[in-house]
Amino acid sequence: MSAHIRAQPVAIPSSEIKYCSSSSSASSLSFSPSAAAEAFARGPHYQPRRRGSMAYPVTAAEEGDTLTGASPPTRNRTLSLLFDTPAASMFSGLRAPTLFSRFGGSNSALPQGADVPPPVPDGKPLPAAPPPPRTGIPTPSPSPTSPMGAPPTSSIPAPSGYSQSPARSLRPPLTSVGSATTPSRSVSQRNIAAITSPQQTTATPTRTNSSATINGTSSSAGGDACHVTVRMRPLTDTEESSNLPTVWDISDEYNRVGLSVDFAERNRKQAAEYFFDAVQVGSDNRDLYEQSAKDVVRAAMEGINGTVFAYGQTASGKTYSMMGIDEQPGVIPQAVDDIFGYIREQSGDREYLLRVSYMEIYNETIRDLLSPEQVDLRIHEDRKRGVFVAPLKEEIVTSPKQVMRIIRKGEENRHFGATDYNEHSSRSHTIFQLVVESRERGQSGTASPRVGGSGSVRGRGMVMISQLNLIDLAGSEKATTDQDRRKEGAFINKSLLTLGTVISNSHIPYRDSKLTRILQASLSGNAKISVICTISPAGPNAEETQNTLKFASRVKKVTVNAQANRIVDEKALLQKYKQEIDELRQQLSTTNELLERERRQQQIAGMEGERKKYEEQLVEGQIARTALKERIDHLTNLILTSKTITSKHLLDWSAPPDPLTSRASVMLEDGLLPASPNLNGKRTPNSGLSKQFSDKGFLDRHIREIDARDEKIRNSNQEIQNLKALLMQLKSSRDGEVLSAIEQYEKTNGQSVKSMRTVVSELDNARRQNDELEVVCGEMEDRIREFEARVRELEAGGKKNSMVHREDVDDLIDENRALKSTVKGLRIELDQRRSQVSCAGGGEDAQQQQQQKQLSQTISSQRMQIESLTNEIRQSQKTITTLRDSIRMLELSNDMFVQSASRAHSPTNTNTSGGSGYNGSAANHAADTELALDRERKLRSEEGRASVERIAALEAELACVRAELGVFGLVGAFGAMGNGTSS
Ligand SMILES: Nc1ncnc2c1ncn2[C@@H]1O[C@H](COP(=O)(O)OP(=O)(O)OP(=O)(O)O)[C@@H](O)[C@H]1O
């Protein structure tokens, strides 16, 4: 169990307090109560730096940022000493002066570790420090009557709401410094209210009515110190089984955390020690909530913004502290329960409207955990709303169970992952936001505000709006082996670094990280801040722990100036709902009057038709009235008062955890679904009407219509959600698509360029081959012409010697056949080429088309040449036929000539002719004829020989042509010529 320092108010003469900072004038006098607490807690070991009413010992953490006199801090020195890790580097440029510097001390004045009590073996916690000095600061006397052991003895009264809460245990401030001014930076100058508006009237509360203290660490009237709790978890099973010692000593009596002297000596480290507002060892989350968060939560119910965040090394227990486990609910579930408990404790004169949202920042991208399809949410800022995330789903909540269901649903969407140090490590920062709107009951929103004067922060007729941020930060990262984890770690470290800088620096780089930008309103001073710094007890983590403690020390010195936000503005949902309820009630009473009139008229109506008309009007009126009542019920149920919350609404920590209900039922309970105002099962919608008018089909039809319409609305809402999700998906995938389209285009383009080149080279080849073919065709034409000439010659010669002519003609026929088949082969070849070229040139490109056109022109000219060749062949055939006819005629005349010659030569002819003279002359004539024939025969055989020689020469020429064709690669086409086949 932790114990807390309690002190009676101490009056310190302001003239004795000297404080100089870089931002405040040297004349400003200030004093931090936490400094007093530390001095008080240090006991007799402390070494005063300078004579004065307060003495302050230096701690290791504060070395390096000392401010002396009126000089600003030496920034470089701070950096060189503290920037050893990301966590440590958060303290760069710290502007809040150290406590030590306030008293003009110097580091060298105190021996290192001078205050460290003697070490205890085995890293066991040190025994309690010696009692504090009694000089000037009396020791508080614990009282058994208070839950915290002491009644509130603060000279600063708690906010009005606190006194009404029996469960509240406000501990007294350690000191009260009367008129002392704020010691550290004056954040009020750069306050940016979380919710501002032109109509906003924010009361400037005095310490007595709006600035609630946090567990006794309240500072001066100018601002509250951030509250810092250090929580050390127990050794984990793995650490225990490795026999790792606990190297930090925690003294809850003095809220002191110190490195065990034994460990420090063995590892040659400084025996550093730190003092905080509260320290805690162990697993008790209830105690943690009471110490660190309760006051911030309660202040949020009073209209003051609040932020609680857990900070620490990975696996040090942040999630355990914020979310907890079933047996030990953490800060968030306890805060939720406490908020409803608070409302329940009120006297009933106040009404509240609560709405929650849950988001995470993962790798610097904001995701809505309640609407996971909403990714990469944007941060906006406007004059009315300040800094806000949109589109962020906000749910109006009416019970802690409902909130827990929402949180569990959100948790399912959160980014976790196993790291080298934590099996279930949060890889993102999560921000659970709860907006509290409240106002006094029965007040019109436009009533003039009554600000201050009454001692109450609750102005009449005004809506107070506050925002409570409960944040589970991702762990500060060591280098890790996993690549993804390294990337996440880089983002985490950067945002934590910015958080550290924002917290402790005059230059406020809120925009450097999403985390600080979202929390800008809170971090700029208009929120109570409580930081739970979680540490590990184990030796190997000592350095990281020390960095966390240094961060905690810096945060402790920052003061904020949180004030209640009160607005009279239409953006307050509570205001809007109340107005709507008023208007609806007005409408309802008008409808009731109308109904009453209808009813009377129906009763007095004589005619059947008239009665029916009134009856129908009556039913319609009833439906309208029911709709109005349902809407009023729905809105009324969303507005919480002490009467609407019963103990059964609060969380039963001993009961097993609620199973997650479906989204629809959560929405139904939220009353977010239209026309379903029956939130608490008081009444089934339309049930009264159904009973009353069950005999009227008219009414049933209307009910069905209304149900169908509701169903339609639900469906279209769902559709809208789906479309939105789709749109987001499309948006996110658009960049990828564009890139891949470009890639695809480049690929396709490359391919088409390649295929173009192939086509062009094929076309070149085809053109070359066509040229060659043209040459061949020309040669063939020449040959044909030669053959024709020869046929003509033979024709002329054939008249002389039919036999020889016949052979020549046969040869010519053969040759013609061969020529024909050659031409046919050529045609086939050309056709093939043409189809090849048309395939190759099938591209869409203009150049390809051009080439194709040229090719087809070439082909058509070749075809024409072939056709003319064919014509010539046909002509040759005709000539050959004519030649053949003339040969036949020649043969005929030859035969006749031979017959007549033999008849003239026969002896019969001699006898028959009688007379010797006649016979002698006939014999002479026959001899002459025979001689002539012999001569003729000789002549013809010579001519025949000449023809045979000519034919041989022709054959030799043909062989040459064949060889040439072979050279052109057209053997296939002209093979027919060689074989003598023909078509
Ligand atoms: N106070 C505690 N008592 C008992 N167990 C604890 C305590 N704190 C942490 N643990 C256990 O230690 C482990 C790590 O804790 P937790 O996940 O909360 O660390 P964390 O700081 O949130 O880590 P990370 O930054 O990686 O998410 C868990 O198994 C948790 O249950």
With cut-offs at 50, 70 and 90, classify the pLDDT of residue 759: confident
Examine the pLDDT at 515 and tell me if it is beyond 90.
no
Q: 660 by DSSP, 3-state: which?
A: coil
Mind listing the pLDDT tens digit for each residue in 846-869?
676 777 777 778 777 777 877 777
User: Is the separation of the CB atoms in 887 and 806 below 8 Å?
Assistant: yes
Span from the CA of 536 to the centroid of ligand 1 (angstroms): 9
**Which tokens belong to 471?**
């944040």
With cut-offs at 50, 70 and 90, classify the pLDDT of residue 734: low
The residues, any chain, with a CB within 8 Å of residue 106's CB and separated by 6 or more, are 49, 66, 68
Q: Which strand (E) or helix (H) includes residue 769?
A: helix 697-798
Instruction: Pick the atom of ligand 1 nearest to 472's CA.
Output: 22
Is pLDDT larger for residue 751 or for residue 288? 288
Mind listing the pLDDT tens digit for each residue in 215-238?
333 333 356 778 999 999 999 988
Q: Beta strand 378-382 with 425-426: parallel, antiparallel or unpaired?
A: unpaired
Span from the CA of 316 to the centroid of ligand 1 (angstroms): 5
User: Is the separation of the CB atoms in 437 and 394 below 8 Å?
Assistant: no
Is pLDDT larger for residue 65 or for residue 776? 776
Span from the CA of 426 to the centroid of ligand 1 (angstroms): 10
Examine the pLDDT at 158 and tell me if it is beyond 50.
no
Instruction: Pick the atom of ligand 1 nearest to 236's CA.
Output: 12
With cut-offs at 50, 70 and 90, classify the pLDDT of residue 819: confident
Distance, in Å, from the CA atom of 289 to the CA atom of 321, rounded to the nearest integer, reads 9
Instruction: Pick the atom of ligand 1 nearest to 475's CA.
Output: 25
Is pLDDT larger for residue 757 or for residue 607? 757
Span from the CA of 521 to the centroid of ligand 1 (angstroms): 29
Is pLDDT larger for residue 298 or for residue 886? 298
Examine the pLDDT at 262 and tell me if it is beyond 70.
yes
Average pLDDT value for residue range 183-194: 30
Average pLDDT value for residue range 757-780: 78
Span from the CA of 512 to the centroid of ligand 1 (angstroms): 28
Nearest to 951 by CA among 754, 724, 756, 793: 793
Phi, psi of 88 (to 5 degrees): -70, -35
Span from the CA of 339 to the centroid of ligand 1 (angstroms): 25
Examine the pLDDT at 211 and tell me if it is beyond 60.
no
User: Is the separation of the CB atoms in 337 and 330 below 8 Å?
Assistant: no
Nearest to 335 by CA among 297, 285, 284, 292: 297
Instruction: Pick the atom of ligand 1 nearest to 323's CA.
Output: 18
Which residue has 């009533």 as its token pair? 447
Span from the CA of 945 to the centroid of ligand 1 (angstroms): 122
Report the chain's mean pLDDT, rounded to a whole number.
64
With cut-offs at 50, 70 and 90, classify the pLDDT of residue 434: very high
According to DSSP, residue 452 is labeled S
Distance, in Å, from the CA atom of 338 to the CA atom of 326, rounded to the nearest integer, reads 17
Examine the pLDDT at 977 and tell me if it is beyond 50.
no
Q: 1 by DSSP, 3-state: which?
A: coil
User: Is the separation of the CB atoms in 195 and 467 below 8 Å?
Assistant: yes
Hey, where are the domains in the chain? 757-979
Q: Is 454 annotated as a binding residue?
A: no
**54-58, 459-463, 556-560, 934-938, range with the lowest pLDDT:** 54-58
Give the residue, out of 422, 472, 492, 495, with the most ligand 1 atoms within 8 A of its beta carbon, to mutate for a pocket test: 422
Give the residue, out of 233, 289, 411, 420, with the most ligand 1 atoms within 8 A of its beta carbon, to mutate for a pocket test: 233
Q: 612 by DSSP, 3-state: which?
A: helix
Q: Which strand (E) or helix (H) includes residue 916?
A: helix 916-967
Residues near ligand 1 (Cβ within 6 A): 233-234, 236, 283, 312, 314-320, 422, 424-426, 474-475, 534
Q: Which strand (E) or helix (H) includes residue 616?
A: helix 608-638
Distance, in Å, from the CA atom of 703 to the CA atom of 696, rounded to the nearest integer, reads 11
Question: Cis bond leading into 391, ω under 30°?
Answer: yes
Is pLDDT larger for residue 25 or for residue 249? 249
Q: 99 by DSSP, 3-state: which?
A: helix
Is pLDDT larger for residue 836 or for residue 829? 829
Instruction: Pick the atom of ligand 1 nearest to 422's CA.
Output: 26
Examine the pLDDT at 371 and tell me if it is beyond 80.
yes
Q: Beta strand 528-535 with 416-417: parallel, antiparallel or unpaired?
A: unpaired
Instruction: Pick the atom of ligand 1 nearest to 232's CA.
Output: 1
Q: Is 70 annotated as a binding residue?
A: no
User: Is the separation of the CB atoms in 543 and 85 below 8 Å?
Assistant: yes
Tell me which range, 424-433, 688-697, 926-935, is most confidently predicted by mean pLDDT.
Answer: 424-433
User: Is the separation of the CB atoms in 518 and 431 below 8 Å?
Assistant: yes
User: Is the separation of the CB atoms in 553 and 315 below 8 Å?
Assistant: no
**Which tokens belong to 803?**
């036999």
Nearest to 210 by CA among 118, 97, 302, 286: 302
- 0.90 surpassed by complex ipTM: yes
Instruction: Pick the atom of ligand 1 nearest to 419's CA.
Output: 26
Q: 983 by DSSP, 3-state: which?
A: coil
Nearest to 978 by CA among 801, 872, 822, 787: 822
Give the residue, out of 319, 415, 533, with the most ligand 1 atoms within 8 A of its beta carbon, to mutate for a pocket test: 319
Distance, in Å, from the CA atom of 797 to the CA atom of 779, rounded to the nearest integer, reads 27
**441-455, 503-517, 677-691, 703-717, range with the lowest pLDDT:** 677-691
Q: Is 318 annotated as a binding residue?
A: yes
Average pLDDT value for residue range 310-322: 92
Q: Which strand (E) or helix (H) includes residue 381?
A: strand 378-382
With cut-offs at 50, 70 and 90, classify the pLDDT of residue 800: low
Q: Is 313 annotated as a binding residue?
A: yes
Tell me which range, 60-74, 209-223, 475-489, 706-720, is most confidently predicted by mean pLDDT.
Answer: 706-720
> Of all protein residues, whose CA lies closest to atom 13 belonging to ligand 1?
315
Instruction: Pick the atom of ligand 1 nearest to 312's CA.
Output: 21
Span from the CA of 234 to the centroid of ligand 1 (angstroms): 10
Nearest to 195 by CA among 449, 453, 520: 520
Q: How many C-alpha atoms does 748 have within 13 Å on its Cβ side? A: 6
Examine the pLDDT at 485 and tell me if it is beyond 70.
no
> Of all protein residues, whose CA lies closest to atom 8 belonging to ligand 1?
317
Is pLDDT larger for residue 484 or for residue 229? 229
Give the residue, out of 248, 318, 320, 426, with the most ligand 1 atoms within 8 A of its beta carbon, to mutate for a pocket test: 320
Nearest to 103 by CA among 41, 6, 38, 156: 38
Average pLDDT value for residue range 112-120: 33
Examine the pLDDT at 952 and tell me if it is beyond 90.
no
Q: Is 539 annotated as a binding residue?
A: no
Mind listing the pLDDT tens digit for each residue in 690-715?
333 334 455 556 566 667 777 777 77
Nearest to 385 by CA among 211, 572, 513, 560: 572
Span from the CA of 661 to the centroid of ligand 1 (angstroms): 27
**Which tokens belong to 882?**
């004519």
Q: Is 315 annotated as a binding residue?
A: yes
The residues, any chain, with a CB within 8 Å of residue 935's CB and separated by 6 or more, are none
Span from the CA of 283 to the centroid of ligand 1 (angstroms): 10
Span from the CA of 545 to the centroid of ligand 1 (angstroms): 14
Average pLDDT value for residue range 504-524: 76
> Of all protein residues, whose CA lies closest to atom 31 belonging to ligand 1?
320
The amino acid that residue 187 corresponds to is V
With cut-offs at 50, 70 and 90, classify the pLDDT of residue 294: very high
